[in-house]
Chain A
Amino acid sequence: MITELGHYALVLALILSLAQAVIPLVGAQRNLRPWMALAQPAAVGQFFFLGFSFLALIHAYVVSDFSVAAVYENSHSAQPLIYKIAGAWGNHEGSLLLWVVILALFGALVALFGDNLPLRLKSRVLAVQAMVAVGFLLFMLLTSNPFARLDPAPLEGRQLNPLLQDPGLAFHPPMLYLGYVGLSMSFSFAIAALIEGKVDAAWARWVRPWTLLSWTALTCGIVLGSRWAYYELGWGGWWYWDPVENASFMPWLMATALLHSAIVVEKRDSLKAWTILLAILGFAFSMLGTFLVRSGVITSVHAFAQDPARGLFILALLVIAIGGSLSLFAWRAPILRQGGFFAPISREGALVLNNLLLAVLAATVLFGTLAPLILSVMNLGTISVGPPYFQTVFVPIAMPLVLLTAIGPFLGWKRGDLPGALQRLTAAGIAAVVAIAVTWYLADGTSFMAFAGMALAGWLLVGTLSEWAARVKLGRTSAGNSWSRAVNLPRAAYGMTLAHAGLALAIIGMTGSIAWKQEKVVVLHIGEAVEVGDISYRLDDVRDLTVDNYMAERATITALEDGQVLTVLKPERRQYLVPSPPTTESAIHSSLAKDIYAVIGEPDGKGGWTVRIYHEPLVLWIWLGGGLMALGGIVSLSDRRYRVGAPSKVMAGSKAAVKA
């Protein structure tokens, strides 16, 4: 019964969003207040129905109602509760429902808390948001209904894919979706501004929090996903340049660009058309991501089972949404009034270069992701574009971007002083040289890329910190004065410092784990040991155990360094109760210097087990850095300027501080 109500609520939400997509738009055009005002209750109602629908689906999973097809496919009565719930979005149908629920949540937030938005803009934004909802609700109801029933109902479910029974599933997809869908808000604002023909500093201030939110969520989602792919065997490590990973990375690059160009719109009333275009492309990339993941047109380590009908439907949605909005852009963008003069060497100029580099990076990733598809459609053979392509293309273009990230904040608005900025980056330059020297001293067999990575990371980290030090006049005024300056710096400035420093830390991690990874695969008998680097690993025993819904063979491996016990690792091989292939659970001991990573394979039948040991130097820094970047986003998001009804006095004050 609840299931039917959930399905019914989905249909009601569709009808409501149809109304919300049309009536307020007409109202805004003809200046009919009641028509415009309809958007607000409609958006709240839409969220109510979709929220109910989502809860109904969760309910079906929690009570293990196997008459619902999606529950039968993805759940089992013996599954732990968290995986019953997370299983609701660990599959195609449920994840789509989560997608639209988040979409409706954002719509409702704008409706309820967007009091400072002009009614006309608000109703247009909500109408565009509803159009997106209509597309996805139709898609769900026509091709992927999460509430479809089975008759007769099976007695037991087929369980959630064991590989997905991981805490990662509970957080990684919702975070990514928050990010993808957050970009739909920037998109809706961009389309509404195009219809209205007006983009100004106020518009940029309304868009920036949504972009920041979505950027922060995408960063978290990518970091969590990278961590999950790292400890799960066979997913290619922390980053494999897999199409599905790229699908989340391209919107991230666009959101990063948008975040920076929106600053120029806000502060300098310039780069308007470009910012609008970025907002459209950002959302285009998140839809493309959905298409790539769902349709199965591209081989991916992370692919779900495919269905051509669904792929076609999303492709059609993509073409309508992107084609429509780009046509609107081509038609309306020329009327956007331009303003703001600036020299090439200036804060604006640096941000333009940042945007150019990010856009080119996104384009190369897009090309690498789609090339196999294009070639196979043109019958030019089947190829796959893997990590080597991206290392050749992406890294050299990303390096100047990192170099620039330290310089940009030192340049003034309008006209910057490059020699002066470089002079203030002396410490950063020294840090880069020191990083090279330390790398030389500590590591042998080091490639050019490792030196370059470490030097860039040192440059960016110290450059970012010196920019903060310059702002608070550290050491150039009394400690008390510096302290009060530090306290009064706007949070957005701290957000930038944290995010840039986080990027530097992440680069240290990426460089370390690529350059100095060590790996050994051996067959060990009980009591035997193997040396990797200067650590010795001894297989102590392998024991059988039974947990909730699986049985496992758990190995105990003692890691010894200089005769001292460093840690005890317990990798497992699991056999879930529902017939399925066994899964492997790695055991990892993390430290700032390196991760040691152990996996146990199959017994060889002669008393030995295949054991695989990795050393991943500095890998932890990737996620620490990524986490710091996300924290920067959160801190920036809490800046008073972006709160509803922030007094303009604060704005003027913080502007002055940013300039300083």
Chain B
Amino acid sequence: MTDIKAGMAPIGGGPRRGMTRKTRRLYLVIVSLLLLGAAVGLVLMALRQDIVFFLSPTELATKPPAPGRLIRVGGLVEQGSLQKLGSDGTVLFKVTDLTKSIEVRYRGILPDLFREGQGVVIEGSVNEQGDFIASEVLAKHDEKYMPPEVAKALKASGRWQETGNQTGSPETGTSQTGTSAQ
């Protein structure tokens, strides 16, 4: 930001019409500081309210968050846990880090890459009854892609295998696309 200050310094003209170089610089510094202060204030406010914490199913079970607080949970969709309920399009499934699992309720159409055994990140909150209501089920571009949070949750539960598959699903795992050089 100091560079603007340099940029505004006149060379030929010199101060005219009662506005000195110093006052002009002062204006600029004040405006910059005000802007920066406002931005920092907004960021701090947002950090308090709008940050979404990421939890593994084990963390969720040990220290459940306040009802209504938006959180993200990552893990694998447990094999055989997907059920469709009633006529309003609600689905139930379990997300596991292979130590603990939580039941998730979601109303909507699941993303294309959603499958049992596949890594998934869900966003939502726990309601008064302690059920996890998902507001968003996140899909990835790439079916071979493992969200880092899911990998972390699995590592934390000690169920991470560096190579090979995480569960029965043939596509899940740490395998990378592409071939490395040569």
Residues of A participating in the B interface, judged by any CB pair closer than 8 Å: 69-70, 73, 91-93, 141-145, 148, 150, 161, 163-164, 233-236, 270-275, 277, 296-297, 299, 301-307, 309, 333-334, 337-344, 352-353, 355-357, 359-360, 363-364, 367-368, 371, 381-386, 388-389, 391-393, 396-397, 415, 521-523, 580-584, 599, 601-602, 604-605, 608, 610-612
Contact = CB atoms under 8 A, between A and B. Distances in A.
B49 A388 contact: yes
Contacts of B42: 364, 392-393, 396-397
Contacts of B11: 337-339
A465 to B, nearest CB: 28
Interface in B115-150: 115, 121, 123, 136-145, 147-149
Contacts of A234: 111-113, 137-139
Given A270-B8, A392-B45, A612 B50 contact: no
Nearest to B70: A388
A226 to B, nearest CB: 16
Contact of A382 (B49, B123, B143, B149): B149
A273 B108 contact: no
Nearest to A352: B4
Contacts of B136: 236
B58 to A, nearest CB: 13
A274 B3 contact: yes
A582 B112 CA distance: 6
A357 B42 CA distance: 14
A393 B39 contact: yes
Contacts of B32: 356
B100 interface: no
Contacts of A389: 46-47, 50-51
Contact of B31 (A163, A353, A397, A522): A353
B66 interface: no
Given A270-B7, A296-B148, A304-B142, A163 B112 contact: yes
A302 B140 CA distance: 6
B182 A148 contact: yes
Contacts, number: 230
B182 A580 contact: no
Interface residues of B, number: 74
Given A163-B112, A339-B12, A360-B39, 4 more contacts: A70-B179, A236-B138, A397-B35, A581-B114
Interface of B: 1, 3-4, 6-14, 16-17, 19, 24, 27-28, 31-32, 35-36, 38-39, 42-43, 45-47, 49-54, 70, 72, 84, 86-89, 107-115, 121, 123, 136-145, 147-149, 152, 176-182
B7 A303 contact: no
27 contacts: A93-B178, A143-B181, A145-B181, A148-B179, A234-B139, A277-B3, A299-B149, A301-B141, A304-B145, A305-B144, A305-B177, A305-B178, A306-B148, A307-B176, A338-B9, A341-B16, A360-B36, A364-B39, A383-B54, A385-B52, A389-B50, A392-B42, A392-B50, A522-B87, A581-B115, A584-B112, A601-B89
A274 B7 contact: yes
Contacts of A299: 121, 147-149
Nearest to A303: B145
B141 A341 contact: no
Q: Is the interface of A mostly helix, strand, loop or mixed?
A: mixed
Nearest to A276: B3
A161 B140 CA distance: 11
A604 B132 CA distance: 22
Contact of A521 (B13, B16, B109, B177): B109
A230 B110 CA distance: 16
A608 B38 contact: no
A303 B147 CA distance: 9
A305 B84 CA distance: 31
A368 B45 CA distance: 13
A344 B89 contact: no
B175 to A, nearest CB: 8
A382 B55 CA distance: 8
A91 B177 contact: yes
Contacts of B36: 360
B72 A384 contact: yes
A355 B43 CA distance: 20
A304 B137 CA distance: 18
Contact of B181 (A142, A342, A393, A612): A142
Given A382-B149, A523-B89, A91 B3 contact: no
Contacts of A383: 51-54
B1 to A, nearest CB: 8
B109 A303 contact: no
A371 B46 CA distance: 12
A1 to B, nearest CB: 19
A274 B8 CA distance: 10
B181 A144 contact: yes
Contacts of A367: 43
A582 B143 CA distance: 11
Contacts of B142: 161, 303-305
B43 A307 contact: no
B35 A273 contact: no
Nearest to A396: B42
